[in-house]
């Protein structure tokens, strides 16, 4: 019969129930629910568990493979992102945050771009700088205002 699960779940129903109640993230809860469904026999097969959880059968089989290979710790481990590294490293981000808080600050995002390119030794995209300063650091450069002729002289 396809989808019949041949796996020995080492944790007890009570342990799984306790882990489920303590878990905060949905992704891990889903995985624990899978083990709980199979342990309590509420789902007789992986296909049945997939229908209950609203996931594809193949996804559940991959999860169970992780459980077989490395136990509960491997089963619940989060996938590490393999994306590209940040264009602006953490040390530069912290230095920029400090510079933005200083009284001198910056007059524009373009000035911040130039400041970063001096520090990093590479050109940084204006859009990248804007998103970093505006959304992540929740800051803004000083707004450049026109100076009257009397003040200039």
pLDDT on residue 143: 61
Domain residue limits, the chain: 13-76, 84-153
pLDDT at 58 over 90: yes
Report the 10 Å Cβ neighbour count for 38.
22
pLDDT on residue 48: 94
Confidence of residue 76 (pLDDT cuts 50, 70, 90): confident
pLDDT on residue 146: 66
Tens digit of each residue's pLDDT (9 = 90 or more) over 97-135: 998 888 888 888 999 999 999 998 989 999 999 999 999
Among 57, 62, 68, 91, residue whose Cα is nearest residue 6: 68
Q: What is the rounded CA–CA span in Å between residue 126 and residue 138?
A: 16
pTM value is 0.54
pLDDT at 1 over 70: no
More confident residue, 78 or 128: 128
pLDDT, average across residues 69-92: 85
pLDDT at 153 over 60: no
Q: What is the rounded CA–CA span in Å between residue 59 and residue 68?
A: 14
pLDDT on residue 145: 62
Helix (H, G, I), strand (E, B) or coil at 4: strand
């Amino acid at each position: 019969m396809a989808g019949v699960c041949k796996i020995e779940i080492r944790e007890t129903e009570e342990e799984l129930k306790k882990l489920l109640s303590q878990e905060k993230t949905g992704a891990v809860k889903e995985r624990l629910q899978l083990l709980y469904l199979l342990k309590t026999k509420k789902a007789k097969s992986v296909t049945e568990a997939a229908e209950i959880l609203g996931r594809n059968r193949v996804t559940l089989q991959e999860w169970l493979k992780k459980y077989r290979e490395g136990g509960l710790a491997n089963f619940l481990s989060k996938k590490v992102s393999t994306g590209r590294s940040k264009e602006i490293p953490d040390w530069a981000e912290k230095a920029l945050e400090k510079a933005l808080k200083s009284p001198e600050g910056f007059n524009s995002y373009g000035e911040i771009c130039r400041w970063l390119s001096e520090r990093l030794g590479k050109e940084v995209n204006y859009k990248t700088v804007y998103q970093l300063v505006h959304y992540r650091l929740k800051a803004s450069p000083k707004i450049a205002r026109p100076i009257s002729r009397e003040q200039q002289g």
